[in-house]
Amino acid sequence: MEKNVTGMDELLAGYAAGTLSFPAQALVGAHLELSDQNRGYVSSLEAMAGAGLNEIEPVALSDRDAALSEIFNSDAPILSEVDSAASNAGTGQGEVPESLRSIVGSSLDELPWKTLLPGVKECKFGEIDGCASSLLWVRAGRAMPSHTHHGTELTLVLKGGFRDEDGHFVVGDVAYADGEVDHKPIADDGEDCICFAVTAGRLQLTGPVGRWFAPFIR
């Protein structure tokens, strides 16, 4: 469960307003697919934004008839992002939430995983909108090196779970970390942990073991 309430509220507000970076927007969308914890809150934020639009002076729509014809002839259902996430949640279709597929693809097994540390694999997807995104696969019971951040890190649990100084995070939970957090995530016993991470700024390893491995993972 998310422990940084303020950070998470700001994240959800940014998602509803559409102001997050593309990777962060995708991460929050996947969170809403996997967990019903914040769907109601985001729906309320979107409703408030919609109410604000009603107070704006209308602008004439060019070629109104053609636009309406395209809408009504479309086979796609008209759903809000939150409604769509709720309808897809728990269907078990595919390994990757719909919101992440434009970045990750539809299968975790087909990705070019690379060993980062013993018991830890990573797949990087590059940088978009100033944020780097990646998947981390941590063997059950394995600990990540202690680290802090020059910026922010969002971590969404896709499989298994982990613990750190902020609490216990399971599938659908989002962990928020910044420069004030120095933590050592440990994957739960019994099941490997897979997470989607979005970072703005670089990671800094802090423990003695982490400092030894630092040249190999930068």
Residues 110 and 213 in one domain: yes
Is the pLDDT at 90 greater than 60? The verdict is: no
Residues 81 and 111 in one domain: no
Residues 113 and 204 in one domain: yes
For position 79, what pLDDT does the model report?
40
CA distance 10 to 37: 15
Q: List the domain range (segments joined by +) for residue 26.
A: 5-100
For position 200, what pLDDT does the model report?
86
Residues 61 and 17 in one domain: yes
> DSSP for 40-71?
HHHHHHHHHHHHHHHTSPP-PPTTHHHHHHHH
Show which of 80, 100, 120 is a domain's final residue.
100
Residues 112 and 51 in one domain: no
CA atoms within 13 A on the CB side of 164: 23
pLDDT tens-digit series, residues 154-203? 999 999 999 988 889 999 999 988 756 666 889 999 999 999 999 887 76
Pinpoint the alpha helices (H) of the chain.
Answer: 5-17, 22-34, 39-54, 64-72, 81-88, 101-104, 208-217
Contact 203, 217 (CB under 8 A): no
Percent of the chain at pLDDT > 90 equals 48
**E strand or H helix that includes residue 196:** strand 193-200
Residues 194 and 177 in one domain: yes
Q: Is the pTM of this model over 0.85?
A: no
Show which of 100, 131, 154 is a domain's final residue.
100
Residues 140 and 208 in one domain: yes
Residues 126 and 210 in one domain: yes
pLDDT tens-digit series, residues 108-145? 988 999 998 899 999 999 999 999 999 999 999 998 88
